[in-house]
Chains A and B, each alone.
Chain A
């Protein structure tokens, strides 16, 4: 029995068909797409095709709205910094407390440089308060940057509605859709979204390739200036092989959209239901009614995530956790804290993220494997005794906290 990979929100396997599509661009078709000769010329055509494939996945109106970048982070930085540079009089940014570090850390830095950052909070299910959002929109705001789907809980934000609201207030709208693209049907031309970031390696393309979607007419200032690549909006020789790969992956994602939302969702639901039926003191975090079809984030109370992952890894199951220890920080995931999940549960969150390569057999094996792991660790936990949490855990075990 092979190992089971349930960490697809971290990264995905490159589809063999995608590898096959990209390989010739290392050897036979190595030319620079900017060159006039036949070596470059063919590559240029391949890039054009890839751009159309991505355009189709995103439902963009024009293929020139697709700018290839090196990764999701670059796309996020480009979008936010562009909005600030293009509108120097506007000194405010609206984002949320649960964004990916690609956006949060940049915003922290911008704050130090004198910008005002508004971070929308979330409720216990990870939902935003749109009235609060409406109140913040003004002609001082340069850009709104809100993720489409949360990487940890899978919870979706109403970005289409929020983009409309921003548009009505004359404010640019960017969404980090790294987790959403390929898992949800997207049709940008029917939305008011001005900019969108995506990352290839989240949808079975290789690492090192991303896209910034830039709606035609959106004022833009490049992050990297230099050559004329990407119509002067992102200088630097094109990563041709990976762009071709992303194009192929985008095409395949579109073909599998129904599968993702029916079959993968069914596996995810079975996984959750199977684990929660057997393991006490465990619950799903985020908003179960409105989230990605592939993500299950389960909090196991009174045990710690890294320990769970190590034991799961030993039986060949790969997942991830929002515990402090897995990241080397001292605090558990900012997403879990923002939702007000108590520390004794936040440290025990495990994210299972599926892909179309998982099978129901694998899911059944995980459902078998998880309960003994949880039981083993609870046996060691000072918060747990005789198969249940100790009576009034906060009082029965009251350590002196460092």
Chain B
């Protein structure tokens, strides 16, 4: 079963604001029939102040769909319509203390229902521009449609390209077969053939492996730096960044900045960096955010 946070469980077992709001003047209905989620959001908005006085949800869906619908109503009650529209999927997930990557689409649905309800309130048409595919990269919650579109839009050709543009495949790497399949399909549409990147340069790799044991401290740190440098472009693409702060035995201290700092995915990103470092150096490495050792030192 899913590893749901306590808060998700609480909002599922004891949902708040279940049912339709009376005298609602904003109604949004969205759903994804195949994935079995459908949500009706009803709001009562004060026409003078545009403050959402009451919000209610009716959901056909799984545990996290019900929990995120309920969470959304809690978040937006008391907000103005304009402020409510600024609520992001990540806000909903954060409110629930995280959602499994496969379940992020549940919070997407909540946000879409909100947009639909506001459009309804304002007498506008709302159309859904969001298409969703099967989850490919579980580390970074990237689906097939997203990868396909990015490959098409940017003329990507390799798994590495896909990782640089979408982050997909940048973590545990077990989805690389799936990414190759998407590349094969999209390139075939353009009359091209997907060619796998050549197997890692054997001479260089072998030399590196044998050297790994006998590196000087300086060589080792340079190497760690090199690996981190190679990861930065991916993070920068998402307006984040990472900086090497210190190396202490097997522990590598880094600082996450920009969009990466405080991002819910930060721990996954750290895991990804750690994995890459271990693969490159051939030894056990623990990657820790720099704030932790400082706190520890101050305390100790």
16 contacts between A and B (CB under 8 A): A302-B60, A306-B62, A310-B63, A324-B36, A325-B35, A343-B33, A347-B60, A380-B18, A380-B19, A380-B57, A380-B59, A382-B39, A398-B29, A399-B39, A400-B31, A401-B31
Quick check: is B112 within 8 A (CB to CB) of the other chain? yes
- Interface core residue of A302, A344, A399, A400 (most chain B CB under 10 Å): A399
* Chain B residue at minimum C-beta to C-beta distance from A306: B62
0 or 1 for each of B126-148: is its CB under 8 Å from A? (1 = yes):
11101111110000000000000
> Which of A309, A313, A328, A379 meets B19, CB within 8 Å?
A379
Q: Which residues of B contact A402 (CB under 8 A)?
A: 30-32, 108-109, 112, 128, 130-132
Chain B 1-44, CB-CB to A under 8 Å as 1, else 0, gives 10000000100110100110000000001111111111110000
Specify which of A307, A314, A331, A379 is in contact with B61 (CB 8 Å cutoff).
A307
* B60 contacts A304, C-beta separation under 8 Å: yes
A330 interface hit (Cβ, 8 Å): yes
A331/B35 contact (C-beta < 8 A), A304-B61, A380-B18, A380-B59 known:
yes
Please state if B60 and A382 are interface contacts (CB–CB under 8 Å). yes
Q: Are B132 and A400 in contact (CB under 8 A)?
A: no
Contact B12 A324 (CB under 8 A): no
Contacts of A347 in B (CB 8 A): 36, 60
**Do A381 and B36 touch across chains, with their CB atoms under 8 A apart?**
no
Q: Which residues of A contact B30 (CB under 8 A)?
A: 399-402
Looking at A313, A344, A346, A381, the one whose CB has the most chain B CB atoms below 10 A away is A381
Q: A313-B1, A328-B102, A402-B132 are in contact. Are A307 and B34 (CB under 8 A)?
A: no
> CA separation between A398 and B35, bound complex, in Å?
16
Given the complex of chains A and B, what is the CA–CA distance between A347 and B36 in angstroms? 6
Q: Tell me the chain A residues, 340-399 only, with Cβ under 8 Å from chain B.
A: 343-344, 346-347, 379-383, 397-399
A380 to B16, CA, bound (A): 11
Chain A contacts of B34 at CB under 8 A? 324, 330-332, 343
A83 in contact (CB, < 8 A): no
Q: Does A329 contact B (CB under 8 A)?
A: yes
A346 vs B34: C-alpha distance in the bound complex, in angstroms?
10
What residues of A have a CB within 8 angstroms of the CB of B64 in the complex?
325
Instruction: Tell which of B1, B9, B116 touches A400, judged by Cβ atoms closer than 8 Å.
Output: B116
Q: Which residues of B contact A (CB under 8 A)?
A: 1, 9, 12-13, 15, 18-19, 29-40, 57-66, 102-103, 105, 108-109, 112, 116, 126-128, 130-135
- Chain B residues near A399 (CB, 8 Å)? 29-31, 38-40
Q: How far is the CA of A331 from the CA of B57 in the complex (A)?
A: 23
Contacting B58 at CB < 8 Å: which of A307, A380, A398? A380
Closest A-chain residue to B106, C-beta based?
A325
What chain A residues lie within 8 Å of B9 (beta carbons)? 310
A319 to chain B, nearest CB (A): 12
A residues contacting the other copy or chain, number (CB 8 A): 35
Q: A285 near B: Cβ within 8 Å?
A: no
Residues on A with C-beta less than 8 A from B135 are: 328, 330
Q: Bound state CA distance, A332 and B32, in angstroms?
A: 12
Q: How far is the CB of B99 from chain A (nearest CB, A)?
A: 12
Say if the beta carbon of A303 comes within 8 Å of chain B: yes
In the complex, what residue of chain B is closest to A328 when comparing beta carbons?
B102
Report the bound CA distance from A150 to B33 in whole Å. 25
Which residues of chain A from 310 to 326 have any CB-CB distance to chain B below 8 Å in the complex? Answer: 310-311, 313-314, 323-326
Known: A304-B60, A313-B1. A400 touches B35 (CB 8 A): no
Residues on the B chain within 8 Å of A307, using CB: 12, 61-63, 66
Instruction: For B102, give the chain A residue with the smallest CB separation.
Output: A328
Asked whether, in the complex, the Cβ of A330 is within 8 Å of the Cβ of B39, the reply is: no
Alpha-carbon distance A256/B103, docked complex (angstroms):
42
Which residue of the partner chain, among A303, A328, A330, A400, contacts B126 with CB atoms under 8 Å? A400
Beta-carbon nearest neighbor of B32 in chain A? A402
- A382 contacts B112, C-beta separation under 8 Å: no
Q: Chain B contacts of A302 at CB under 8 A?
A: 60
Residue of A nearest to B13 (CB): A314
Q: How far is the CB of A390 from chain B (nearest CB, A)?
A: 10
B127 lies within 8 A of A400 (CB): yes
Given contacts A313-B1, A329-B134, contact A324 B35 (CB under 8 A): yes
Among residues of B, the one whose C-beta sits closest to the C-beta of A343 is B33
Please, how many angstroms separate the alpha-carbon atoms of A107 and B126 in the complex?
A: 42
A382 & B29 in contact (Cβ 8 Å cutoff): yes
- Whether B58 and A381, one on each chain, are in contact in the complex, defined by CB atoms closer than 8 angstroms, is yes
Nearest neighbor of B129 in chain A, beta-carbon distance: A402
- A304→B29 contact, CB < 8 A: no
Select from chain B the residue with minimum beta-carbon distance to A381: B60
C-alpha spacing A328/B131, complex, angstroms: 17
Which residue of A is nearest B69, CB measured? A380
Known: A332-B34, A382-B59, A402-B132. A304 touches B65 (CB 8 A): yes
Least CB separation from A347: chain B residue: B36
Q: Contact at B12–A310, with CB atoms within 8 Å?
A: yes
A303–B19 CB distance below 8 A: no
Give Cα distance in the complex from A324 to B35, angstroms.
6
Q: Which of B18, B32, B65, B66 contacts A330 (CB 8 A)?
A: B32
Query: A330-B134, A399-B31 are known contacts. Are A323 and B60 too (CB-CB below 8 A)?
Result: no
| A306-B60 CB under 8 A given contacts A331-B34, A400-B127 | no
- Asked if residues B61 and A325 are in contact (CB atoms below 8 Å), the reply is yes
Q: Which residues of B contact A311 (CB under 8 A)?
A: 13
Question: From A332, which residue of chain B is reached at the shortest CB distance?
Answer: B36
| Chain B residues with CB under 8 A of A303 | 60
Q: Which of A304, A397, A400 contacts B62 (CB 8 A)?
A: A304
Beyond A304-B65, A328-B102, is A400–B29 a contact (Cβ under 8 Å)?
A: yes
Distance A311 CA – B15 CA, assembled complex (angstroms): 13
Q: Chain B contacts of A328 at CB under 8 A?
A: 102, 135
In whole Å, how far is B58's beta carbon from the nearest beta carbon of chain A?
Answer: 4
A314 to B9, CA, bound (A): 11
**Chain B positions within 8 Å of A309 at CB level:** 1
B-side contacts of A325, CB under 8 Å: 35-36, 61-65, 103
Residues of A within 8 A of B37 (CB): 304
> A317 to nearest B CB, angstroms?
13
7 extra interface residue pairs, beta carbon distance < 8 Å, beyond A307-B12, A402-B108: A304-B36, A304-B37, A343-B36, A397-B38, A399-B29, A399-B30, A402-B31
